[in-house]
Structures are given as structure tokens and as C-alpha cells.
Structure 1
Amino acid sequence: MMEPVEKTIISIDWMTVMLFISLVVLALGKYLYHKKFLNFIILPFNDKYILLHNKKGQFSHWFHLLLTLFQLINLSLFLYLVLRTFSLLPDGEPLTIYFILLGFLALFELVKFLVQMFTGYVFNNTVVISGLIFSKISYLNYSSIVILLTNILLIYITTNSKTAIYTAILCVALINGIGVAKLLKNYQKALFPYFVYFILYLCALEIAPLVLIGSYLKG
């Protein structure tokens, strides 16, 4: 006699909704600011977007805000999927956990942004620092396109694939590595007097969080 086996079905409806919202945000940015979007989409291969739009008020421009929202939605979903894949999700409603991750990530990026701007104020070099921040956020926003594609794979095609996660992390690191290399090239003269402080800044605000996350996943 066959015994009934309980089958757990994980709802992906809310994930679909979040992916749809992020695509709407991206499409809205493309529709409203078509020229900016065309410059943005070739960012790793051409610095035209950074050179043309790196000016006063760039952080409050709607195109930049839309791309940052797109990044936050997808990066939070990616973190959720990573935690699920490595069986590290805390107990609770999946959507609630996702919004906690989204809120934490948004708060983290906001605090980091304020600390960076304060650093520029302390060194009396706000213009250069704001340019550096804009460049880094732009490359992070660009890499969120890769994260979007990975989210789609992890949700609908290769569920719980660690290979997809590692590949996505490698691609994101490569894209942002290109950004850092171009950033150092473009601002080498301005950064030279503060080189030691710049290295300390990278260790404290850029590398340390990644090390902590990696250690958490490994544990």
C-alpha cells in the first residue's frame, strides 16, 4: 500500500511580482531617459555615461534613482535566493524576510553613501569624492542587470544552483573591477595625495562587508 508523501510547494508568486516591478522600473528609465540609457548600457566598454552625467545633482536625477531602485530590488532578491540555496534562511514568511533584506540593503547603502560624502567633506574634496561615488554606484547598478538574469535562472530554471550563484558573483566582481580600474585611471592625480586613506577606505567600506558575507556563507 502506497503511503501519501507530503510535498512542499514554495510559492514564487511574490518573486515574480518583484521581478516584474524591477523590469517596469528599468523600462521606465529607458523610456523617459532614452539617451542616458543608451550611454549607460555600454558602460563597461565606454565611459561616456560617467563623463557626461557625472555632475552636480547627479545623485538626485530620476534616471539614477530609478537604476538604484532597480539594483536594490534585484540585489535583495539575489541575497534571498543565495540564503535559500545555502539553507541559511531564518524562520519566517519569505516575503517578510525579503523586505527585511531590502530595508537592510537600502539602509546600508545610504549610510555608506553618507559616510563617503562626509569623508569628502573632511578632506575638502567633495567634488572628487562625489565623482568616485557616482562612478561606483553606476557600475553596481549596471551589474544588477546580471543579477536580474541570475534571479530569473534561480527562480524558474536552475533552482538552487550554486554554479549560477558563483558565476553571477564572478561577473559582478569583474564588472565592478573594470569600474574600479577606470576610476583609478581617471582620478589618479586627484587620489595620489590621499592614496593611503583611499586604501583604508576600500578595506573598511568595500572589502570588509564582502569578507563578512563570504565568511557567513562559508560558516
Structure 2
Amino acid sequence: MEPIEKTITSLDWMTLTLFMALVVLALGKYLYHKKFLNFIILPFNDKYILLHNKKGQFSHWFHLLLTLFQLINLSLFIFLVSNTFELIPYEKNIATYFMILGTLTLFELVKFLVQMLTGLVFNSLNLIGSLVFSKISYLNYGSIVISFANILLIYISTGSKTVIYATISMILLIYGIGITKLLKNHQKALFPYFMYFILYLCTLEIAPLVLIGSYLKG
């Protein structure tokens, strides 16, 4: 019998990462309890968006904490997906995770700046800011689902493609609900910029998901 090489990934740093993410979420809940209660029912009620979608919303500590929670969990999920599908050819360790975290943070930051610059160019900064805040809020909400998926993939169903596909489906569902509500709530304001909005969705929202899905399928 020939020996089979098996790479064992340490769970210590993953456990610490999950713990840090939960601390960030708990801190947001403790410091801003009313906001958290509105946020936790976001897909079913727009109260959080209506109450907190105003000037300075992006710099509010509750929003920043939730975005940090999202970045930590989404980066870990991408790491676990790349591990399961063997998308990264080199050693998969904490350095790889930090590389993913840095890349994702930079991508979201650049994307945010491009979106706000677009609003400035078309003299619709308030509208674009409102749309971006709503979209990020739904993505932050989806990170709660991702955190449960990370726990399953690390401790219970290691390398389960079923968990990965189910998680991606749930994220798309939550994101789809968010986009649908955005179109419904801002249909009059978006009408003059409808073609630009469709172009934005195709280039910055849908295209990356299609590319990732095609890569996983291949």
C-alpha cells in the first residue's frame, strides 16, 4: 500500500477567528441593543433601513462592527471553500486567510468608493448612499448565516459541498430580497437612472457572483 499524504489544518486559529467575530457581534448587540433588534429582522421588516439610513450611517460604530463581522466571516468562508475545492495551489494556513481578508477588504473599499464617486458624478449622492447602505446591511445580515456555515464546515461537516452550496443559496436569497426591496422602495428615484442601475448590477454585483459560480462548477 502506498502512503497517502493528508494535510491537517490547525483549528486553533480558526477557533480564535470565530471567537473574535462573535465578540464583535456581541459588542454591537450590547452597545446598540435597539439597533440590533431592528437589524435581526431585516429581511422581514425594513425598519432598520428606514430608521438608520441617513447622513453619517457608514461611520456609525454599529454599522462598522457589523461590517467587520462580515469581513471576518466571509473571508473565513472563502478560505474554507478554497480548501474544499482546492482552489489555492499553495499551503493553506493563517497567512492565506489574512491574504483573503486583506484582498476582500480592499475590494469592498474600492467598490464602495467607486459607488460613491458614481453618485457624486451623477449628482445623486444621497440616493446612491442610501442604496449602498441598504445593500451592505443585507450583506452584513447574510454574514450571520455564513458564521453558522463556518462552524459547520470547521467542526461538524468538514469539507461538505452541500453546506457550501446551501449557504451560497441562502446568501443569494437574502441578497435577492434586499435588491427587490431596494427596487420597490426607490423605483421612482431610480427611474431616471434605470439603465445605469442595471449596468451597475451587472458589473459590480452579478458578474463577480457568476465568475465565482463558474469557477466552482469548473
Normalised by the length of structure 2, the TM-score is 0.96
Q: Is the 8 A contact 2:28 2:65 kept in 1?
A: yes
Cα deviation, 1:128-186, whole Å, max 9, x if unaligned, reads: 10000000000000000000000000000000000000000000000111111111011
- Give the distance between the partners of 1:5 and 1:119, measured in 2 at CA: 53
Which residue number corresponds to residue 172 of structure 1?
A: 171
Q: Is the 8 A contact 2:83 2:92 kept in 1?
A: no
- Give the distance between the partners of 2:128 and 2:10, measured in 1 at CA: 44
Alignment of 1:42-121 (within 5 A): 42-92=41-91, 94-121=93-120
- Give the distance between the partners of 1:195 and 1:56, measured in 2 at CA: 24
Larger displacement relative to structure 2 (43-52 or 209-218): 209-218
Alignment CA distance shift 1:210-1:63 (3 Å): same
Displacement of 1:3 in angstroms is 9.8
Displacement of 1:212 in angstroms is 1.7
Cα deviation, 1:47-74, whole Å, max 9, x if unaligned, reads: 0000000000000000000000000000
Query: Runs of 4+ in structure 1 displaced over 4 angstroms?
Result: 2-8
Percent of paired sites with the same residue: 76
Q: Which amino acid aligns with 1:114?
A: L
- Give the distance between the partners of 1:134 and 1:60, measured in 2 at CA: 11
Query: What SS does the aligned partner of 1:200 have?
Result: helix
Alignment CA distance shift 1:171-1:93 (3 Å): closer
Normalised by the length of structure 1, the TM-score is 0.96
